[in-house]
Amino acid sequence: MLRYDGVDLTYSIEGKTAVITGGAAGIGYAAAKFFHDKHANIILADLSPEVCNIAEKLGEHCVGVAGDVCDPAYPGQIIKAGTETFGKIDILVNCAGIVALENAEDISAADWKRTIDINLSASFFMAQAIGKYMIDNQIDGSIVNMASQAGVIALDKHVAYCASKGGIIAMTKVMAKEWGKHGIRVNAVSPTVVLTALGHKAWDGPAGDELKKEMPSERFAEPEEIAACIAFLCSKGAGMITGHNLLIDGGFTIK
């Protein structure tokens, strides 16, 4: 069950160990920095060969494990590094992702498959491995999967991306339903455009200017604003929240 032993009004994640995939850049890096500032231990998991240096620069209680989230051996390597370095893993932030921009009639099979493989399948297999590890070790864990506003609305040229993020929201609900009895909470976050390399690639130019005009916020999000929401979902303050998809969209999807 999801245990209640009081609400921690500080929303602390101090002393927790978090695996953050896609942690070398963008939202993942912002989450790692936020978690580190809140005294969590970090396992930074990323394709970037720089990930170990980035982890070292973040500071103490932070290690990098380089690899491809699509490699079936990678979740096991991350669990080994996490348990050997910090004793246990309490949190997974499934953040690694890509975008392929193409009309539905033109997208190649390779671009479709790569988007689904990285954004959806690899997120599932990472959550499956770490979820099973949490169940086996009776850890009251928290998993946050990175979805997107693209998972709930249609965006031009985002067909594979929208499909992958819709899948993330659905998979999050099933995992939350099945794993509540093990004390594990599973949630998704769905940001609007975030000012990272991926966000700039997809939305710099007239389409982004138009989208911004339709947002009550009249601006895109900073990575730190997404990191703060992720940290909240991983804290005891969110102890009764599971299976939720938190839209962080400046009101864009209200319509």
b (16+ CB within 10 A) / e for 34-70? bbbebebbbbbbbbbeebbebbeebeebbbbbbbebe
Q: How many helices (H) and strands (E) does the chain have?
A: 9, 7
* Binding test (CB under 6 A) with ligand NAD, winner from 95, 130, 169, 234: 95
- Answer yes or no: are the C-beta atoms of 213 and 33 closer than 8 Å: no
Nearer to ligand NAD, 78 or 184 (CB): 78
In angstroms, what is the minimal distance from the CB of 120 to ligand NAD? 10
Q: Is position 62 an interface residue for ligand NAD (rule: CB under 6 A)?
A: no
In angstroms, what is the minimal distance from the CB of 60 to ligand NAD? 22
CA distance 206 to 23: 29
Binding mask 118-147 for ligand NAD (x = CB under 6 A): xx--------------------------x-
What is the footprint of ligand NAD within residues 151-190 (CB under 6 A)?
A: none
Structure tokens at 170: 């659905």
Q: Is position 17 an interface residue for ligand NAD (rule: CB under 6 A)?
A: no
Based on the residue annotation, tell me whether 161 is a catalytic residue of this protein: yes
Per CB under 6 A, which region of 19-27, 55-63, 169-177, 208-216 contacts ligand NAD? 19-27
- Answer yes or no: are the C-beta atoms of 18 and 35 closer than 8 Å: yes
Structure tokens at 93: 């932030």
Q: Is position 42 an interface residue for ligand NAD (rule: CB under 6 A)?
A: no
In angstroms, what is the minimal distance from the CB of 183 to ligand NAD? 26
CA distance 134 to 183: 9
Structure tokens at 231: 């940290």
Per CB under 6 A, which region of 36-44, 81-89, 191-199, 208-216 contacts ligand NAD? 191-199
CA distance 97 to 99: 7
CA distance 155 to 165: 12
- Residues serving a catalytic function are 161
- Judged by the rule CB under 6 A, the positions of this chain that interact with ligand NAD are 22, 24-28, 46-48, 68-70, 95-98, 118-119, 146, 148, 191, 193-194, 196-199
